[in-house]
Amino acid sequence: PLCRDALGRPRIEGDAAWTSLSHAAGWIAVAVDTHTPVGIDVEPTSRAPALEEVVDRVVHPDERERVAGGCGQAR
């Protein structure tokens, strides 16, 4: 069963794993990890120009190189 932690993030009851859930434009993504917190986000390609404006605020520095020039492209 799913529950929410103190910050409202979805968790598997009993803290068996960290989870993240995102959905947009008919797509859904789920991430699950038993060792560390995870995060995932799905956005429609129509929002790609807006995402490029906020990437520095929402993407970890280690991931920026992989994201550069790739907003809105499936990987």
In tens, the pLDDT along 14-48 reads 767 888 889 988 999 999 888 888 888 888 878 77
Find the angle CA(46)-CA(18)-CA(40) to the nearest 5 degrees. 10
Task: For residue 7, give the DSSP letter.
Answer: T
Look at the block and give the residue holding tokens 């794993």: 17
Rounded Cα distance between 67 and 44, Å, is 15
Determine if the pTM surpasses 0.85. no
Q: What digits encode the pLDDT tens for the residues 57-68?
A: 777 787 777 766
- The total number of residues shown for the chain amounts to 75
